[in-house]
Amino acid sequence: MQEPLVGAGGEAAAARPRIERQAVTRVFDGITCYEVPARAALERVPEAAELPFAWGASPYRGCEAGCGYCTARRGHRYLGLDPGTDFATKIVVKTDLARRLRRELASPRWGGDPVALGLTGDCYQPAEEIYRLMPGVIRALADAANPFTVLTKSPLVLRDLDLLRDVAKVTQVGALVSVGFVDDRVRRAVEPGAATPQRRLEICAALNEAGIPCGVLMAPILPLITDSTDHLLATVRRAAEAGAVSVTPIVLRLPAGAREWYLRWLEREHPGLVPRYQALYGRGQVAEEGYRLRIAEQVRALAETYGIGRDARRWRRRRSPARQLALV
């Protein structure tokens, strides 16, 4: 169902969130979409994100997956929206992103750095089925021969597989599928709207078999919940079985916006862990450095054991990738 709602003026408008006073608002099956022009296409990636990218571009702000830990939640505050309840149901749509991106990529000041797609909301979330912004974004990057990487949890990325393969002939194209853990019970609790870890690993396998290098963004690793040796080993092993070209571990970050929402869930579901989180994070957004280094080293060692990132692997699958993924 679609309900066009054009912002009203006067006192009624003043009482509404700022984004509603600036956007064309439409509702699709209970999800509110705010259509806005992009103020900028290319945005700096904060160093605290621990991602191997300096620049990102995102068609959407907010995400229907509703992951309780998502660091992009804080952006809703600046729009006059609730970073908790509104993040998964009120999505900002940058309808002219491809046009704006073309202009910025053509600027003599642009250095051609790799671009990450989908940092402020999954670029293949359900809204993409309606707006279809990604093909235009991909073509803009292709026409500039600018390397890029797609970050996603969504099977919808496979819709554009042929396009990605064509673009890979003119520039470097990659993908990172976010799989922080493979326990689906945890996924149902903290990633209620996301595809299962199994489905995401199947996406990783499909992209790699199609010639699009795809790694696993092992993010986030949840302290005291998914950081055990068994959890880490299972996730890295399954990534290897999916043919992941890399695995990048990132421990849970708790910036303002995400912190309140996640800790509220933790108090409800795991109250005994709250004091330990307070000790691990203090008043900051990142966990204690020694803990993060230990987790990174564990994952690095497991990735080495399973041969992730190498053509010649010491570890061998006992089943074909397709059969193995279907059975786990």
Backbone angles phi, psi at 164, to 5 degrees: -60, -40
Please tell me the distance from the alpha carbon of residue 45 to that of residue 119, in angstroms, as a whole number. 8
The token pair that represents 305 in the structure block: 């054991």
Q: Is 257 left (phi over 0), alpha (psi -120 to 50) or beta?
A: left
**pLDDT digit string (tens) for the chain, length 328 residues:** 333 333 333 334 445 778 888 899 999 999 999 999 999 999 999 887 888 899 999 999 999 999 999 999 988 988 889 998 899 999 999 999 999 999 999 999 999 999 999 999 999 999 999 999 999 999 999 999 999 999 999 999 999 999 999 999 999 999 999 999 999 999 999 999 999 999 999 999 999 999 999 999 999 999 999 999 999 999 999 999 999 999 999 999 999 889 999 999 999 999 999 999 999 998 899 999 999 999 999 999 999 999 998 753 333 443 334 434 443 3
Axis crossing angle, helix 229-241 with helix 289-305, rounded to the nearest 10? 40
Please tell me the distance from the alpha carbon of residue 275 to that of residue 266, in angstroms, as a whole number. 11
- Angle at Cα 220 formed by Cα 217 and Cα 224, nearest 5°? 140
Instruction: Report the predicted TM-score, pTM, of the whole model to 2 decimal places.
Output: 0.88
The token pair that represents 276 in the structure block: 């330990």
Taking Cα atoms as reference points, which of 26, 38, 24 lies closest to residue 2? Answer: 26
